[in-house]
């Protein structure tokens, strides 16, 4: 599969944005000391899924795009579960 300059640029932009988002999550973790593992793992999976989804769109690979969408949504669910656990723990 040959990458055109436009697809190559889009792929590089998606990767760069992912690394920036990891930095934002790391900064949030420093500020918020009572973050649980589900929140962190869920947000990381969400970011990885988004990158996979965008990469699938750029490469015109429907399978990768769908797989990324599923991974992103599972990450959102896991992060939401972690948020719920944190809220319950904080309200005790």
The answer to whether residues 59 and 37 touch, using CB atoms and an 8 Å cutoff, is no
Q: How far apart are the C-alpha atoms of 86 and 36, rounded to whole Å?
A: 7
Give, for 9, the enclosing helix (H) or strand (E): helix 5-31
Report the domain count for the chain: 1
- Render pLDDT for 19-77 as a digit per residue (tens, 0 to 9): 666 565 555 555 656 789 999 999 999 999 999 999 999 999 999 999 999 999 999 99
The answer to whether residues 47 and 75 touch, using CB atoms and an 8 Å cutoff, is yes
Instruction: Give residue 58's domain range.
Output: 5-90
Q: Is the pTM of this model over 0.75?
A: no
Higher pLDDT pick, 81 / 15: 81
């Amino acid at each position: 599969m040959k990458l055109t300059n436009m697809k190559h640029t889009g792929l590089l932009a998606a990767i760069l944005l992912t690394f920036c988002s990891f930095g934002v999550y790391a900064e949030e973790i420093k500020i918020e000391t009572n973050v649980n593992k589900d929140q962190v793992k869920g947000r990381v999976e969400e970011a990885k899924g988004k990158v996979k989804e965008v990469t699938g769109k750029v490469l015109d690979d429907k399978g990768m795009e769908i797989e990324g969408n599923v991974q992103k949504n599972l990450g959102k669910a896991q992060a939401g579960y972690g948020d719920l656990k944190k809220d319950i723990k904080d309200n005790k």
